[in-house]
Amino acid sequence: MVKEEQELANRPDNTAFTQQRLPAWQPMLSAGIVIPGFVLIGLAFIGIGVALFVTSRSIQVLEFDYTGVDQNSPCFKCSDPKVLNCVCNLNFSIDSLFKGTVFFYYGLSNYYQNFRKYGVSKDDVQLSGDLTNFKTPSDTCSPYAYDSNNQPIVPCGSIANSMFNDAFKLYQIINGTNTLVPFDGKGIAWWTDYNIKYRNPSITPLKNAFNNTVKPIFWSKPAYELDTSDPANNGFINQNFLVWMRRAALPNFRKLYGRINEGDYAQGLPAGNYSLEIAYNYPVLSFDGRKKVVFSNVSWMGGKNEFLGIAYLVIGSMCVFMSIVMLIVYAKFKFPEEDGVPGH
């Protein structure tokens, strides 16, 4: 009896787990799965690719570089950094109706918002409306934390300091008169940025919260006066500010400036001549940057994106092609299914 008990104690458990006999699914790349699988994937990709390509084709995009490098460019006169408060007009015409809500973007090239030190140069606590960080901005903002008089800068840091400050006004030229095409600048930032991430201090008027602070060095007006037309669109929740603060992943990027969805232009921009009045404030030529504006409408898949459709088409075709190759190979070197295991 004792011996049996001892035996029980030493004998390993006879379970599927300990004996490595767990029931298991053992997939194998057999021709019956792989070849039809490739065909299916290929066809699905081609289908999606066609859909994407067609949709992308239907999207209209209008792009203008207004940096003013070229002497013939309307903004050439403004490209000299010494010229202040320069305004230039960009005239263009649209042949056919620019359908749907038209989105107006500004774009920058060779601009490194994704540079690591640029990216960390802000104070999230300050931007979430914490007044203690109004007085003592975080070190990450350096060298834009304090001005030369040791006054705290609010909002601090490189990102805020370098905020894009060109302003745009679009006019449709109807019979020689300029009719303002209004940009809707609301809701162009992320919902979470506007509602959660960035908060103004709960002090009214907002101006008081900024006592004993200075505006960022490059700014022409303080944060609480960014939008004089709409008092609610000021401080850290100014839409353009939010758009700027959401830094781009790549050195060539565009950012939403406004939508054209009001009044006569709710259905899109009608054909005709237009003039874009640009308040040229933002110098980019010093680092060989470029500025552009983009008009675009969107579909269910967003803006124009030819790459995606083409990529899907290519991959889909390659899958189909591979399946044919595999079928040939399989037919030629048939897996020895019937022969059982070859001798060894």
Total residues contacting another protein by CB under 8 A comes to 106
Site for another protein in 260-299 (CB under 8 A): 283, 286-288, 296, 298-299
Sole window of 89-97, 169-177, 228-236, 336-344 interacting with another protein (rule: CB under 8 A): 336-344
Residues of this chain, 187-226, that bind another protein according to CB under 8 A? 187-193, 196-197
Q: How many CB atoms lie within 10 A of CB 197?
A: 18
Least Å distance, CB 205 to another protein, is: 24
**Which residues from 105-124 bind another protein, rule CB under 8 A?**
105, 110-119, 121, 124
Name the nearest CA neighbour of 303 among 246, 265, 261, 255: 255
C-alpha span between 191 and 183 (Å, rounded): 19
Q: How many CB atoms lie within 10 A of CB 55?
A: 17
CB of 117 to another protein, least distance (A): 6
Q: How far apart are CA 50 and CA 47, in angstroms?
A: 5
Say whether residue 252 binds another protein (CB under 8 A). Answer: yes
* DSSP structural state of residue 224: G
**Does 18 engage in binding with another protein (CB under 8 A)?**
yes
Q: Which residues contact 79 (CB under 8 A, 6 or more apart)?
A: 67, 68, 69, 280, 285
Element of type H or E holding 318 = helix 306-332
> Among residue numbers 220 through 239, which ones bind another protein (CB under 8 A)?
none
Q: Which of residues 85-104 bind another protein (CB under 8 A)?
A: 101, 103
Q: Which among 72-80, 182-190, 207-215, 223-231 is the span making contact with another protein, rule CB under 8 A?
A: 182-190
Token pair, residue 322, equals: 């591979």
Q: Is 165 in the site for another protein (CB under 8 A)?
A: no
- Nearest to another protein of 232, 329 (CB atom): 329
Residue 20 CB, nearest approach to another protein (Å) = 6
Report the residue from 26, 72, 148, 229 that binds another protein according to the rule CB under 8 A. Answer: 26
- In the complex, the smallest distance separating the C-beta of residue 186 from another protein, rounded to whole angstroms, is 12
Amino acid type, 225: E
| Nearest distance from C-beta of residue 6 to another protein, angstroms | 6
Stretch that binds another protein, among 37-45, 70-78, 165-173, 224-232 (CB under 8 A): 37-45
DSSP state of 212: T
Tell me which of 73, 301, 317, 324 binds another protein, using CB under 8 A. 301
Rounded to the nearest angstrom, the gap between the alpha carbon of residue 120 and the centroid of all alpha carbons in its chain is 18
Tokens 């620019």 locate to 98
Backbone Cα Rg of the chain:
31
Candidates 70-78, 232-240, 245-253, 269-277: pick the segment binding another protein (CB under 8 A). 245-253
What's the gap between Cα 83 and its chain centre? 32
Kind and range of the H or E run holding 86: strand 86-94
Return the number of the residue (101 or 179) whose C-beta is nearest another protein.
101
3-state secondary structure of 60: coil
